Chains A and B, each alone.
Chain A
Amino acid sequence: MKALLFIIIFVVIAVACWQFVKLLGLTKVENQTATKKENNINGWLMLALMGFIYGLMLYSLYAAKDVLLPQLSGSAEGEDIDLLFKLTMTLILVVQFITQFLIYFFTFKYRGISDRKAFFFADSHKLETIWTVIPAVVLAGLIIFGLVTWNNVMDSSDAENPLVIELYAKQFQWEARYAGSDNELGYANVRFIEGTNTMGVDFSDKNASDDIPLLVGEGKFVKELHLPKGRKVIFKLRSQDVLHSAYMPHFRAQMNCVPGMVTEMSFTPSVTTAEMRQDKDVIAKMEGVNAVREKNGEESVEFDYLLLCNKICGASHYNMQLKIVVDEEADFNKWLKEQKTFAQIN
């Protein structure tokens, strides 16, 4: 691969030098605009460029099928987003194919290889009305569909018995706490941070004592955020230092963590980790991943949901993650019972 790279670089430089030497000769009398021959060659090349763009598009679409996010959304809300996404993407591809064809085909067809007179065509209200109104109508549809989806995704007010979890971001790790039996998070502020109270929880707040921190003080390094399938989860996001962003691509969810305020996002996990590992897209994707890992002599891995930081936050921004496990609700409740509340820890 590297050798290929150097060869290509060498060829480019060589061609440049060769052209340069040719230039020094300067014997050729130049037509100041393009000659018919140049128009012909470049017209054909433009057609070839169109072929290259189409080829790249089709190949990318084909090659991408196993590396993209699984088609199966991990959250119920994600399904709405995916539907809108597919619709928009289809529209984009159709328009892209047609417009690129028109650009390059016209360039090829009307390349100046004869003394044909160009067509003086300066205005047409009819045409312009057509291509103002059609995009407007299509966009109106997209806007309405988009706004309905957006409101559904962002609105968590009608959720029954949601699970409230705080995600706490800091350079360069995630902490979390479940709201506990009262489902209310105790007040927290960076000014309470002291010793093992790394999230700055105010223990004088009565809502705090039943909160369940994620493995604080357990000395365990592999942290897992467990979520129940089929129950709405409302995340309250805070940051300790700089902007971070909680990005959970498989759930089609993302929200920034902003120091000084609490932001919110919510979704209903709809596929457990175990179920996800059975999905055919995920199997194909993991086969690809493990093939690369095997080649590099690394151990193979299984699919896991991920929380990544997606807002530049410092030198180790590139490794700020938390594993997420979606369980059946009964398993989740069992797991949660095993965790200690602040009252039990302190």
Chain B
Amino acid sequence: MSDHHHKETFVTKYIFSQDHKMIAKQYLITGIIMGVIGIFMSMLFRLQLAYPEESFTIIEAFLGRAGEGGVMTPDMYLSLVTIHGTIMVFFVLTAGLSGTFSNLLIPLQIGARDMASGFLNMISYWLFFLSSVVMVLSLFVETGPAAAGWTIYPPLSALPQAISGSGLGMTLWLVSMAIFIASSLMGSLNYIVTVLNLRTKGMKMTRLPLTIWAFFITAIIGVISFPVLLSAALLLIFDRSFGTSFYLSDIYIAGEVLHYKGGSPILFEHLFWFLGHPEVYIVLLPALGITSEIIATNSRKPIFGYRAMVMSIVAIAFLSTIVWGHHMFVTGMNPFLGSVFTFTTLLIAIPSAVKAFNYITTLWKGNLQLNPAMLFSIGLVSTFITGGLTGLILGDSALDITVHDTYFVVAHFHLVMGVSAIFGMFAGVYHWFPKLYGKMMNKDLGYLHFWLSAISAYGVFFPMHFIGLAGVPRRYYNYTAFPLFDDLLEVNKVITIFALIGGFAQLIFLANFFFSVYKGKKASQNPWSSTTLEWTTPVEHIHGNWPGEIPEVHRWAYDYSKLDDRGDYWGGQDFTPQTVPIRNGEEEF
């Protein structure tokens, strides 16, 4: 291999690597491990919801004293939903998704030898790793992990008297998230600088693949909003440990009046959701970027409306920073402010609709190659629409009153950001696995994985809307105290069965993934006949990505099935890589 850098040792190659491809793999593996923990937790609390009074050995085996007799305690239930949310949103769908694919694809698709700062990139991963370790450690503390919901609203999260999870568990949660945010900021800054400065000759911004646009804009949103969460967390640490009153006021608990005066939990909610809402798009945009790429490649067609896609990403990103108040319609916020947030929130439906219709048009009259990556991408478009539409209800302040904090919300955001983003992540793994490991994943297992995942995703979250419409609040340990909800228990059982199928279906993915890493068939250089630059690099990873010169770019990334005057494919094949100069008589799109 070309080794114009220094000699690699095991440590510099596999552990403290500064190579973006290795860092991408590190992110992916860490993300997968965290994902396994997060999904397993959801299976445990789904058991509790469907069979509230029954005893399960598995619950006692994993939860120990908090699951004595095979039935989990209410505290543990709340801890599980809290940590499930935290892990899935931040560790899997932010770091695992963006971390993997931004790192892998930004240098490869823009034609750069590595990230702008390999060192910063390495630090970014190791801080993420450290934050994951701290988060996992928090599961083992005596008083239990954080249990105030992933939104950790104070005073519940500030007072150990209020819930036992707000003791050491909450401290570790905050420490972990502070480290996580530092990691995320380093990563994001790196992505932005790399995209702006290291594009190869001819790679104009208007020729960037949509993946890169999505990662780039995502990084910008992250840089704008994550620091606000950090400040929110720091102020909460102050309130918890140093007696300040940023969020707390007039509290009487456990038989005594606390000294806090003048603070407001609403301040925390504003700070939290200033990150929390853009976070939805930090999770979703990379998945949509990946989908754009995969749908175009496998439809053997250009993505429809490239410019509109870029503009809608930018519009969504901009709007996402001014809609956070729709999480707070019923918090006592001024109703006028509620009106403003309703207005901005519903506007997001416009660029979202443009994206959805553009995907559908891309499928139209294509020659669809339905490999696993493509199936997951199409699945994403489907769940994105199903989940996104109910946003019209939740974003409308008057309607949100009735369904706020019910299972309707749970169903909505799981479909629109959870399932969609994870489908995007799976699609990305199936599609770029040859680039990550130089091997192919098994297609049959991929198909099985998709079909079980798609059916269970709809089976879990579709009926859940109706539980919400029946007025059932989320984050309830059980519903036995409410005769009015007795008739819904059967629905909960159905949901749990689908959840278990969906959970176990992921084992197929895990087996396929790890088996293919070692024993998969060797990949060819451009297995999907794709146009983008990453498929011009050698299959074996080398430092600097291209053995010789970095190729020059002459066209956009979507010249699939472009025909010349005689009705034949240009160049005799149905795709023209970005590196091919514009031919005589060919019009550049």
Contact = CB atoms under 8 A, between A and B. Distances in A.
A116 B367 contact: yes
Contacts of A120: 301-302, 560-563
B300 interface: yes
A22 B523 CA distance: 20
Interface string B224-268: 000000000000000000000000111111000100001111100
Contact of B339 (A151, A255, A304, A311): A151
Contact of A16 (B302, B356, B508): B508
A237 B332 CA distance: 10
A53 B301 CA distance: 27
A20 to B, nearest CB: 6
Contacts of B455: 49, 52
Contact of A142 (B264, B346, B470): B346
A41 B349 CA distance: 34
A5 B500 contact: yes
Query: Size range of the interface on B?
Result: 35 or more
Contact of A53 (B360, B458, B507): B458
B354 A22 contact: no
A308 B466 CA distance: 18
Interface stretch (B180-188, B284-292, B475-483): B475-483
A312 B524 CA distance: 52
A38 B249 contact: no
Contacts of A43: 368, 370
Interface string B478-500: 11011110111111010011001
B443 interface: yes
B62 interface: no
A131 B360 CA distance: 12
B486 to A, nearest CB: 5
Contact of B367 (A81, A118, A243, A303): A118
A241 interface: yes
Contacts of B154: 242
A220 to B, nearest CB: 19
A33 B470 contact: no
Contacts of B382: 53, 100, 103-104
A157 B87 CA distance: 45
Interface string A291-305: 111001010010110
Contacts of A314: 156, 162-163
A143 B342 contact: yes
A276 to B, nearest CB: 12
A146 B266 contact: no
| Residue from the set A171, A243, A263, A303 with the largest chain B CB neighbour count within 10 Å | A243
B78 interface: yes
A136 B465 CA distance: 26
Identify whether the interface residues of A are mostly helix, strand, loop, or mixed.
helix
Contacts of A343: none
Contacts of A124: 304-305
Contact of A310 (B398, B405, B561): B405
A32 B452 CA distance: 23
B444 A33 contact: no
Query: Size range of the interface on A?
Result: 35 or more
A143 to B, nearest CB: 5
A264 B333 CA distance: 10
Interface in B345-370: 346-347, 349-350, 353-354, 356-361, 363-370
B396 A247 contact: no
A153 interface: yes
Interface string B391-406: 0110011110110111
Interface string A152-163: 011100000000
Nearest to B444: A19
B507 A34 contact: no
Interface stretch (B126-134, B169-177, B211-219, B373-381): B373-381
B465 to A, nearest CB: 7
A45 B248 CA distance: 55
Contacts of A260: 248-251, 262-265
Given A23-B442, A120-B301, A193 B368 contact: no
B335 interface: yes
A60 B521 contact: no
27 contacts: A1-B493, A16-B507, A19-B508, A32-B524, A33-B528, A53-B382, A64-B466, A66-B487, A96-B386, A103-B360, A103-B378, A103-B381, A118-B366, A122-B589, A128-B358, A135-B349, A135-B353, A150-B396, A151-B335, A151-B339, A200-B252, A241-B159, A247-B405, A289-B486, A311-B153, A315-B477, A318-B74
Given A9-B501, A110-B365, A316-B74, 12 more contacts: A1-B493, A9-B504, A33-B298, A46-B378, A102-B360, A103-B378, A118-B367, A139-B346, A237-B332, A242-B253, A260-B251, A260-B262
Name the 8 nearest CB pairs between A and B, nearest first: A260-B249, A249-B471, A263-B332, A119-B365, A190-B252, A42-B370, A154-B335, A318-B476
